Structure 1
């Protein structure tokens, strides 16, 4: 295992947090008030995180109906939830294919909803795109404009509860927090909780594996940046985040909603930070590629990449086949050391991720990547033969050059 950087609570703090939460529950906070017939809606309902959440919600006897909202057709990941949308004994799944900026369709989707999970957003792009303006416009449209449209429709349709899942301190989250406690059209108060997950992974997540695959296809391997504290990040398995979302819903349905409304939680499986190269290694291998030696001269590499990508942006050049990490993504994944505290989550939620469970969750994810995105054995052998042939040719040319 690689070097690790820890921001871990002491055992005493961990136990005292539980005692404090239970003490508050008993003395002045009512226990969760289970409500029968709860109708929930999920934006980004065709995404991988929604699939994990749907699996969790369909096991909740209090959920009466699940609505998914997405621009794309509904896509169910069979490896996560094998129950068809109309399974007997499970709440029905109803899909609304619409854009969050299409207010008329959005109003129909939110009519009568008790709890809304907002998962839809333009996620972080790992790969470099020459047209940076178009990429920035998509971020603004899908994250900020879409959330403003959703909040306006929430108040018009009187949706009383929101669980917002997003990135750290975004303008979209701040817009939602400003609405907490305000009165809806029907006279009820609006309450919301805001989850800030760290690096999310799990079955169904294709964006990171696809980026790793394209970079490996272009460069032959994935190289991390050398250094004891480079690329130190925290992670959370999508199934565990789904449990946190479901518990957040129960908090909003309880008498604690008014006290907690507007609160944000950093969500992670462990406060210990792990090098990204160590974390993503099993995924790279599942794709049929390999991790290369660490980059020692990081600043020269980053400067060279920055200059190259600036030139490509000015000229509008894209690279095919394969791709490159953007300079921002490379620094975030392999250069930065980022850690958050889970204190607020520990004080307010009962969820605790299984200690030592990440190896199991990583294996599940790697197995899924291998099945869905990995190369067939024959293709791997052909590619390896081509790589070895190219290496021999390069070495031969170098020998000839030296002798000549």
Structure 2
């Protein structure tokens, strides 16, 4: 389906972020016939500006600095655009961000962007969602190779997952809405599983902690708590594939108003064992077991949350461990990309071997100089 986006103007929000930047790069590399790409972010990093400059001679690239909470900025950004890929969001798994901020940016910002699309007759909208809109729930009920028709009691214990779920619902509800020019909006949502790869802030934190721990990753998840991580390059590729599928009326009808799980062929393993798999060849190890038995860790997390609650009138204390995070890291929660393959034609572009090599090379680049010489 190469060239399916020929003549299209595309806006990518959150284009400076981990996933958004990779989507931007892949669009610029794969869709040389795009009429225009607009890269929007709240702050313009040197990396984002460099990427846009690098492709400026091949495709018209505009860099837009602004906030998804600013209706005027969104209106300007959407004028003359055919496709929006909305990745901009606050990601928070530890409770650093207030509920008000999460809802304002992740939910209200998405609603404002959808309205701008309606007013400017933007025909296509792809939303970057999260596996946390599903769970794991507060009971830690496992899922093995879940699919889109799975009935799961998503009792979410965290504001981030709730904010992403409300935003996704707004996107899917907007499918079919009449545009200013009389056409109708086509929307879909992509739900990646845990994303790893070059530039991952979470992976960088884990590497830093391992270095402080004598080159050994902390065991943050039980070996049997399986996840199916997905490489960032495959997440970006899924967005390009979804955009191409939207341009085909037959496929667009099939995918309109739906969500899809996005993963790849990375082996199912715990979060801790993923860290080890990516750092093993660099000499990084992993602890054999959790620091404490899981029930005791859960009790410690509960006490930390209680202390945070009691201190709230006086100071803001963010616990390093919460029951939600502990449940997230220690619940088997795996999904299938079968539906995305059937409806969108998505197949992972990068193998596990390639994804591991690229990510390990990046980890090596951020290691202290003395370790690189070993």
TM-score range, shorter chain: 0.7 to 0.9
In structure 2, do the counterparts of structure 1 residues 109 and 270 end up closer, same or farther at CA, with 3 Å as the change threshold? same
Alignment partners' CA distance in 2, 1:325 and 1:306: 9
Match of 1:298 among 290, 294, 306: 294
The 3 A distance-change label for structure 1 pair 317 and 252 is: closer
Once the two structures are superposed, residues 283-332 of structure 1 have per-residue CA deviations (whole angstroms, 9 ceiling, x without a partner) of: 5669986422312611112212321343145334659xxx9344422331
Change (3 A) 1:287 1:70: farther
Aligned Cα RMSD in Å? 3.2
Paired residue secondary structure (1:182) = coil
| Equivalent residue in structure 2 for 1:368, among 357, 362, 370 | 362
Provide the residue aligned with 1:84 in structure 2.
53
- State the shift of 1:45 in Å: 1.0
Render the CA deviation track for 1:11-54: whole Å, top value 9, x for unaligned.
Answer: xxxxxxxxxxxxxxxxxxxx899353211000101112122212
CA distance in 2, matches of 1:85, 1:33: 21
Contact 2:2 2:31 in 1 (8 A): no
Determine if the alignment matches structure 1 residue 109 to structure 2 residue 77: yes
Q: Hey, what does 1:100 align to over in structure 2? A: 68
1:52 counterpart SS class? helix
Larger-Rg structure: 1
The answer as to 2:31 corresponding to 1:52 is: no
Q: Determine whether 1:62 maps to 2:33.
A: yes
1:331 alignment partner in structure 2: 327
Match of 1:252 in 2: 246
Once residues 258 and 279 of structure 1 are traced to their aligned partners in structure 2, the CA distance between those partners, rounded to angstroms, is: 37
Structure 2: stretches of 5+ with no match in the other structure: 134-164
Partner Cα distance (2:246, 2:107) in 1: 24
Match of 2:13 among 40, 43, 48: 43
The answer to whether the 8 Å contact 1:166/1:196 transfers is yes
CA deviations over 1:247-277 (Å, ceiling 9, x no partner): 1111111112233211211010038522222
Q: Assess, with a 3 A threshold, how the Cα gap between structure 1 residues 102 and 140 changes in structure 2: closer, same or farther.
A: same
Q: What does residue 125 of structure 2 align with?
A: 162
Is contact 2:215–2:284 with CA below 8 Å preserved after alignment?
A: yes
How big is each residue's C-alpha offset from its partner over 1:315-365, in whole Å with a ceiling of 9 and x where there is no partner?
34659xxx93444223312x110012322112113332268x213212311
- TM-score normalised by structure 2 residue count: 0.79
1:115-157 Cα distance to aligned partner (Å, 9 max, x none): 10000111133x464xxxx532222122111111111111111
Distance in 1, matches of 2:66 and 2:218, equals 40
Bigger shift: residues 105-114 or 358-367: 358-367
What secondary structure, in the 3-state scheme, does the structure 2 residue paired with 1:84 have? helix
TM-score by length of 1: 0.74
- Alignment equivalent of 2:86, drawn from 118, 131, 145: 118
SS of equivalent to 2:98: helix
How big is each residue's C-alpha offset from its partner over 1:74-100, in whole Å with a ceiling of 9 and x where there is no partner? 44269xx86734542x21221111101
Structure with more relative contact order (C-alpha pairs < 8 Å, separation 6 or more)? 1
